[in-house]
């Protein structure tokens, strides 16, 4: 089980045989799937959604069929129902890296043969479609939209935004500022102007029912590390001025460091400025959730009631998007894998990065990814 919200769970698998896979719960009609054969380089990974489940309940799923070659029972649970009326659903995607061809430190994980549409475009397109189907009224893309800020990569991003069934807002990541001198590249600000994109520079504040979205540019030029120096006062003010009863959802590219010792590459916002910033956000009294990307990993922690998360990339394992359900008294985060077969087979293939450890480093636990925060 990869994801749970208050009414559904996402089940994922790999290395099953071609054939039938039947999933049944006590709460709804059984689901019957036919699994195709995978290839050597892209194994038969897949995902499906079981919907219409009761909120806040233990769920037992009976799985059987020729694809499994037997019967298994999975036990899981749905999130509690968000308190009060549901007011807004928004989604995020992060670390699209449009223009990338390879994954891994040594760039050895590639698509072979090279497909007509590269995996960053396939994965982000499918993520946007899935998030809109889930019910997101808009989507925020949390940086590393492009792999190097090249003109053709920005054009791809603009086409993605243009084709989206719901509005897409953006904020820049470090990769969006790393185009090399002499190459055809654009800063996020120039790309926004050229293609008519909405990109935070340094802040974009959007009020929606029950939630204030605060999009923050946390980049420090082309450097890997993040910085809040240019925007911190404005972020605190935006959070402080959030309408009473609403939650502030602060979205940025870089991760806020929970510990003084970094959890390896890449570098986000150091522990010292992170704590100082979270103290100021906590002092506003506004319920606040801060979410970054950049690490392509999933983490969750809390500082003085401010919830902090990291959500992974659309394009490498596990390959995700995140949905936020805002109600009168709570906000939930649900992170689902991009389930399109030609995406999840690729993202599953990338588990082998970091000498095979990426499969353990990136996903976090389901409670890291999916939770309800109330106030």
The residues binding Fe ion (CB under 5 A) are 95, 144, 173-174, 294
Minimum CB–partner distance for residue 20 and Fe ion (Å):
38
Q: Pick the closer one to Fe ion by CB: 294 or 337.
A: 294
Smallest gap from Cβ 295 to Fe ion, in A, equals 8
Nearer to Fe ion, 144 or 348 (CB): 144
Distance CA 133, CA 176 (A): 28
CB 96 within 8 Å of CB 314: yes
- Can you tell me the distance from the alpha carbon of 105 to that of 264, in angstroms, rounded to the nearest whole number? 13
CB of 268 to Fe ion, least distance (A): 9
Q: How far is the CB of 293 from Fe ion (least distance, A)?
A: 7
User: At closest approach, how far in Å is the CB of 260 from Fe ion?
Assistant: 21
Question: By C-beta, is 5 or 176 nearer to Fe ion?
Answer: 176
Nearer to Fe ion, 76 or 174 (CB): 174
Work out the burial of residue 341: count CB atoms within 10 Å of its CB; fewer than 13 is exposed, 13-18 middle, 19 or more buried. middle
Q: Nearer Cβ to Fe ion, position 173 or 202?
A: 173
Q: How far is the CB of 149 from Fe ion (least distance, A)?
A: 12
CB 224, min distance to Fe ion, A: 7
Q: How far is the CB of 95 from Fe ion (least distance, A)?
A: 4
Measured from the CB atom, the residue of 13 and 179 that comes closer to Fe ion is 179
Closer to Fe ion by Cβ: residue 5 or 144: 144
Closer residue to Fe ion (CB): 141 or 326: 141
Question: What is the token pair recorded at 176?
Answer: 């969006």
How would you write the chain as a 3-class SS string? CCEECCCCEEEEECCCCCEEEEEECCCCCCEEEEECCCCCCCCCCEEEEECCCCCCCEEEEEEEECCCCEEEEEEEECCCCCCCCEEEEEEEECCCCECCCEECCCCCEECCCCCCCCHHHHHHHHHHHHHHHHCCCEEEEECCCECCCEHHHHHHHHHHHHHCCCCEEEECCHHHHCCCCCCCECCHHHHHHHHCCCECCCEEEEEECCEEEEEECCEECCEEEECCCCCHHHHHHHHHCCCCCCEEEEECCCCECCCCCCCCCCCCECHHHHHHHHHHHHHCCCCEEEEECCCCCCEEEEECCEEEEECCCCCCCCCEEEEEEEECCEEEEEEEECCCHHHHHHHHHHHHCCCCCHHHHCCCCHHHHCEEEEC
Contact indicator for 348, 45 with CB cutoff of 8 Å: yes
- 327 vs 347, beta carbon nearer Fe ion: 347
Least CB distance to Fe ion at residue 173 (A): 4
Q: Which CB sits closer to Fe ion, 6 or 296?
A: 296
Minimum CB–partner distance for residue 179 and Fe ion (Å): 14
Q: What is the rounded distance in angstroms from the CA atom of residue 214 to the CA atom of residue 248?
A: 7
């Amino acid at each position: 089980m990869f994801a749970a919200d208050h009414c559904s769970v996402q089940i994922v698998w790999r290395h099953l045989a071609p054939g039938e896979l039947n999933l049944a719960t006590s709460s709804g009609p059984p689901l019957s799937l036919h699994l195709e054969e995978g290839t050597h380089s892209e194994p038969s990974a897949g995902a499906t959604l079981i919907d219409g489940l009761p909120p806040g309940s233990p769920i037992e799923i009976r799985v059987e069929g020729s694809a499994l070659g037997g019967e298994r029972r999975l036990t899981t649970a749905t999130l509690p129902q968000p308190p009060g009326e549901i007011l807004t659903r928004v989604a995020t995607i992060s670390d699209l890296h449009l223009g990338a061809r390879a994954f891994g430190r040594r760039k050895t994980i590639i698509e072979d043969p090279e497909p007509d549409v590269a995996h960053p475009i396939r994965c982000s397109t499918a993520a946007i479609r899935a998030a809109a189907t889930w019910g997101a009224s808009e989507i925020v893309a949390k940086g590393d939209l492009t792999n190097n800020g090249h003109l053709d990569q920005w054009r791809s991003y603009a086409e993605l935004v243009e084709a989206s069934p719901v509005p897409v807002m953006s904020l820049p990541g470090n990769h969006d500022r790393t185009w090399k001198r002499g190459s055809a590249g654009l800063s996020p600000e120039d790309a926004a102007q050229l293609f008519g994109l909405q990109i935070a520079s340094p802040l974009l504040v959007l009020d929606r029912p029950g939630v204030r979205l605060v999009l923050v540019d946390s980049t420090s030029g082309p450097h890997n590390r993040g910085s809040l120096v240019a925007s911190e006062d404005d972020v605190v003010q935006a959070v402080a001025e959030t309408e009473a009863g609403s939650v502030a959802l602060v979205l940025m590219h870089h991760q806020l460091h929970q510990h003084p010792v970094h959890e390896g590459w890449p570098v986000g916002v150091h522990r010292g400025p992170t704590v100082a910033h979270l103290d100021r956000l906590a002092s506003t009294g506004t319920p606040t959730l801060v979410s970054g990307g950049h690490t392509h990993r999933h983490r969750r922690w809390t500082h003085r009631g401010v919830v902090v998360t990291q959500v992974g990339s659309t394009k490498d394992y596990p390959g995700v998007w995140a949905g936020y359900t805002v109600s009168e008294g709570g906000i939930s985060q649900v992170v689902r894998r991009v389930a399109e077969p030609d995406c999840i087979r690729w993202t599953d293939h990338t588990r082998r990065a970091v000498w095979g450890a990426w499969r353990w480093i990136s996903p976090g636990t389901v409670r890291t990814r999916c939770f309800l925060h109330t106030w």
